[in-house]
Structure 1
Amino acid sequence: MIIIHLWNYIYRHVFRFWLKWILRQITGKCELQRICDGSKKSAERTLKIEYSLESSKSKVLQSAVHASEDEVKKYVALIMKEKKINIQKDTGFALKLQMCLLQITGYKKLYLDVEDLRKCPYNSNNKEHEKQLIELWNLLMPHEKLKARITKQWCDIGFQGDDPKTDFRGMGMLGLVNLLYFSKHYPHEARQILTRSNHPTLGYSYAIVGINLTEMAYSLLKNGALKTHFYNLVPCVAQMDHFHQFYCYLVYEFDKFWFEEEPESIMYFNQYREKFHEIVKRRLQGYDVVLAL
C-alpha cells in the first residue's frame, strides 16, 4: 500500500509533469487541448479534463472545477490565458472545454441540491409534505380510498407502520420525492411493481425498498460513480430530474433482479441489495454507459 501511494505521488508530481512538458514540445498543444482532440464527446473527455484540472499545479485550473455555472465562460478565458492557447489556431477548444466544465460544475451542483432535499426532514405539519404523501397513495392505490392519515393501510404500499413519516428519517424528503416521481412518471410500472412486491413468497416492502434505493442512488452520486452516466446522458448541466430518472432505473432493475434471484426470504435483503449494488457499480465503470429505463 505504501509503495502504491509513493508511486502515485511520484507519477503526479514528477513523472507526469515532465511527460506533459515533452508532449507539449512535440505537439505544440497543452494537455487540455490534447484531451479535447483525442477524446470523443462523452464521459471519457469530461473525466480526463476533470482529472487534468484537479491535478494541475495552477490555482486557476484547480479552481475551475469548483466554479459556478455562471463562472464557466470566465474560467475558460482564464485557462486559455494561463496555458497560452491561441484561439485562432485551435478554434474548437474553447467550446469543448466550456461544455466539459458545465458538466463538471453541474454534477457538483446536482449533488448539493440532492443533499439539501435529503437533509429536509418530513414534517407532518407541512401541508406540502402531507399533500405529496397523500398523492403517492392515490397514484399507487387509485381504487382504494385512504380511511385516515394514520392507518395500517400504509403497510399495503410497503411502509413499516401506520405513519409513513417515521420511514423517511434516513433520506428525508428525498425518499418521498423519489417514490412520488416514479409513481407520477411511470404509473403503470409503479403499480405493477407494487403488485409484484406483494408476492406470497418473494414479496418485499415496496416503499421501504424504494427508500433504500434512494440511499443507493444518493451514495453513487456522492462518491462520483454516477459521473460516467450523467456526463454521457446530459450534454451540459444535470438537473434534479436526471437524478430522479436514475432512481426510476434502479427501482425497475432491482425488482427484476429480485425475482430473478428468488431469495429464500426477505431476511436476506441486505445481502441481495449489496449484490445488486455491485452490479450497478460495475455497469457504471464503462466510459459509454447510460443507465436509463
Structure 2
Amino acid sequence: MLTLFLKLAFANASSLDAIVWGFLQKMFGYIWTYLYTSVLRYWLKWFIRQATGKCELQRICSGYKAGATRTTKAEYSLRSSKNRVLRGALETNKDHLEHCVDQITKVKNVKPQKDPLFKESLHTCLLQITGNSSLYISVEDLRKEVFNPENQEHEAMLLKLWDLLMPAVKLDARITKQWGDIGFQGDDPKTDFRGMGMLGLINLVFFSENYTEEARQVLSHANHPKLGYSYAIVGINLTEMAYSLLKSGALKPHFYNTVPDTPELRHFHQLYCYLAYEFDKFWVAEEPESIMLFNQYREKFHTIVKTQLQDPDVSLTMTVCSNN
C-alpha cells in the first residue's frame, strides 16, 4: 500500500522528485527487510510451526526434492537463525556433520520417529553447503600455486598438455615458438599462468585428458584462419570465469543439482570443461569479425552462463561422451 501511494504521489514528478522517489523506494526496501528479518520472520515461523507441527527446516527437507532449491532454502534458514548451533552448522567440517545434525535435531525438538527422513536430508544439505566452501579453498590454493619450471610435476603436466593436443608433433625444445600452436602467447608458457597459477594448467590438462577428441576439435576451431583464437589463453581466461563464479556463490545451484554430497575439485574441473566446450560453440556460431572483439564476446557468454545459473534446476554438464 505504501509503495502504491508513493507511486501515485510521484506520478507527475520532476527529475528531482524522481530521485527522491528512488531514495524512498530504497529506504522502504531497507526498512521492510529489517522488519521481516528481525521481527516478522520469527513470528511467521512460530505461527506456521504451531499450525503444522514442523519447524522450518523440517518443512524444507520434506517439502522439496534433493537439489538446489532444497539446499539453498536450508542454507538460508540456517544462516538467518538466531540460534548459535544452527548458524555454526554452516562452518562445520565434514567429520563433525553427523554430530551437528544430532544437535540441530535436539535444538529444534524434532522427533525422529515422526520424521525419519529429516536427519538424512539435513545431512545431505550440509554436505553440499560446507563442501562448497571447502571446494573454494581448494580451488584458491591451486590458483595461488605459481607454475614453477623447476618443479618436475609442473613441467611434466605442461608437456603432457602438448602431447595430448599435438600427439604427432614433437617439441623442438622446452622454450620454443611451437607453444603458439596450442594458443600460448610466447615461447615459454610459464608467463601465461601468472593470473590463475596451476589452476589454469590443471584445467587445460583435465579437459584434454578426459575429453581428448573434443579438446582437439576445439583446438582446430581455435586455429581457424578467420575465426581463430588463442586456445590456451582463452582456456585460462575461462578458468578465471569459473573461479569468479565459484567465489561469488553463483555456482552453488549447479553443484547442488549435480553433486549429491560433497563437491570436489574434479567437479570444478568438469565445470571448466563445460565452459571450454560451450564457449567454442558460441564463438563459432557468433562468427566474430576479429579476435580484438574477444572481451565483448566473452562478456556476452559470461552473461549467458550467469542467466543459466539463475535457474534452480540448472545443470551445466557436457553432453558428449567422455573418454573415461
Does the alignment reach a TM-score above 0.5? yes
Following TM superposition, by how much is the alpha carbon of 1:64 offset from its aligned partner in structure 2, in angstroms?
0.2
Q: Could you tell me which residue of structure 2 aligns to residue 226 of structure 1?
A: 251
Alignment of 1:23 onto 2:48: yes
Matches within 5 A, 1:31-180: 31-180=56-205
SS at match of 2:91: coil
Task: Please give the alpha-carbon distance, in whole angstroms, between the structure 2 residues aligned to 1:134 and 1:11.
Answer: 57
Number of residue pairs the alignment of both structures matches: 293
Pairing 1:274–2:299 present: yes
User: Taking structure 1 as the reference length, what is the TM-score of the superposition?
Assistant: 0.98
Aligned residue identity for 1:169: R
Q: Provide the secondary structure at the position in 1 that maps to 2:173.
A: coil
**Separation in 2, partners of 1:2, 1:284:** 29
Question: Using the alignment, how far apart are the partners of 1:11 and 1:273 within structure 2?
Answer: 39
State whether structure 2 residue 229 is matched by structure 1 residue 204: yes
CA distance in 2, matches of 1:60, 1:283: 34
Which of 27, 32, 40 aligns to 1:2? It is 27
Q: Please give the per-residue CA displacement for 1:115-135, whole angstroms capped at 9, x wherever unaligned.
A: 100110101110100000000
Cα separation, 1, equivalents of 2:292 and 2:31: 44
Question: How far apart, CA to CA, are the structure 1 residues paired with 2:30 and 2:282?
Answer: 38
User: Mind listing any 5+ residue stretches in structure 2 that lack a counterpart?
Assistant: 1-25, 319-324
Q: CA deviation at 1:3?
A: 2.9
C-alpha displacement of 1:2: 3.3
- For the residue of structure 2 that corresponds to 1:287, the secondary structure is coil
Q: Hey, what's the Cα distance between the residues in 2 that align with 1:67 and 1:147?
A: 51
- Give SS of 1:65's match: helix
Aligned-pair CA distance for 1:6: 2.5
TM-score normalised to the size of structure 2?
0.89
2-side partners of 1:71 and 1:270: how far apart?
A: 44
Which piece of structure 1 moves more, 167-176 or 222-231?
A: 222-231
Q: For residue 257 of structure 1, report the CA deviation from its aligned partner.
A: 0.3
Q: 1:125-152: per-residue Cα shift (whole Å, max 9, x none)? A: 1010000000001111101100111111
The answer to whether structure 1 residue 11 and structure 2 residue 36 are counterparts is yes
Larger Rg: 2
Residue deviations 1:200-227 (CA, integer Å, cap 9, x gap): 1111000000000000011111111111
Q: Aligned letter for 1:108?
A: S
Q: CA deviation at 1:11?
A: 1.4
In structure 2, C-alpha distance between the alignment counterparts of 1:37 and 1:135, rounded to whole Å: 48
User: Does residue 213 in structure 1 map to residue 238 in structure 2?
Assistant: yes
**Residue identity matched to 1:248:** C
Q: Using the alignment, how far apart are the partners of 2:300 and 2:27 within structure 1?
A: 30
Q: What is the aligned partner in structure 1 of residue 10 from structure 2?
A: none
Paired AA for residue 257 in structure 2: N
Per-residue CA deviation, residues 210-264 of structure 1 (Å, 9 max, x unaligned), is: 0000000111111111111111111111111111111000000000000111111
Give the residue type in structure 1 aligned to 2:30: H
Matched to 2:180, the amino acid is: C
| Superposed displacement of residue 111, structure 1 | 0.8
Please report the RMSD computed on the Cα atoms of aligned residues, expressed in angstroms. Answer: 0.8
Per-residue CA deviations over 1:51-93 (Å, capped at 9, x if unaligned) read 0000000111001011111111011011011111111111110
Q: Which residue does the alignment assign to 1:288?
A: 313
1:264 aligns with 2:289: yes
Report the Cα distance in structure 2 between the residues aligned to 1:170 and 1:235, rounded to whole angstroms.
32
Distance 1:191 1:152 in 2: 19
CA–CA distance in structure 1, aligned partners of residues 249 and 273 of structure 2: 19
Q: CA deviation at 1:8?
A: 1.7
* 2:270 partner letter: Q
Which residue of the partner structure matches residue 260 of structure 2? 235
Letter in 1 for 2:93: S
Q: Distance in 2 between matches of 1:8 and 1:134?
A: 55
Q: Which amino acid aligns with 1:70?
A: D
**Helix, strand or coil for the counterpart of 2:305?**
helix
- Which residue matches 2:9? none
The C-alpha deviation readout for 1:150-205, integer Å capped at 9, x for no partner, is 11110110000001000000000000000000000011111111111011111100
